[in-house]
Amino acid sequence: MPKIKSQETLVRERKRWVVLAILVIIITGCYQWWKQGTLRYEEWSPNQQYVVRYYKTFEFIPRFTMPGDGGHYSGYMRVYDRNGKQFYEEYSDLLDFVEGPFWAKEGVYWMGNDNQDIVRLPTSPVD
């Protein structure tokens, strides 16, 4: 026959679950805030149908660079159409070293990031 738990034990377990749920909510919120980033700059396609936006993310451990090198930053490259629909997202550790975007008939691509493939878009970004 199973032991019946005391009221104190039940309250203690309930408090643990509440604390765990609050921690999960806080961690999820912090991750969403971090991933959102701050907009650094944007570049539009030649026909103004698509835009690539570069977002810098907060760094918890600051990077140390050589004097005169400037501060390197990491973040996201995101491709949107002019209505705001997101088509692509990629994280880069050294966003300031990524060259591009280069607009082609099929889509858009960058040099210096992990994914060297072209991002295919529904319509041609160049005329």
pLDDT (tens digit per residue) in 54-113? 998 887 766 666 676 666 778 899 999 999 999 999 988 888 788 889 999 999 999 887
- Residues sharing a CB contact under 8 Å with residue 79, sequence separation 6 or more, in sequence order: 50, 51, 52, 86, 87, 88, 89, 108, 119, 121
- Residues sharing a CB contact under 8 Å with residue 43, sequence separation 6 or more, in sequence order: 51, 52, 101
pLDDT surpasses 70 at 25 = yes
pTM for this entry: 0.72
Question: How many C-beta neighbours within 10 Å does residue 103 have?
Answer: 20
How far is Cα 52 from Cα 36, in angstroms, rounded to an integer? 15
Q: List the chain domain ranges.
A: 1-36, 37-120
For residue 24, name the pLDDT band (cuts at 50, 70, 90): very high
Question: How many C-beta neighbours within 10 Å does residue 115 have?
Answer: 13
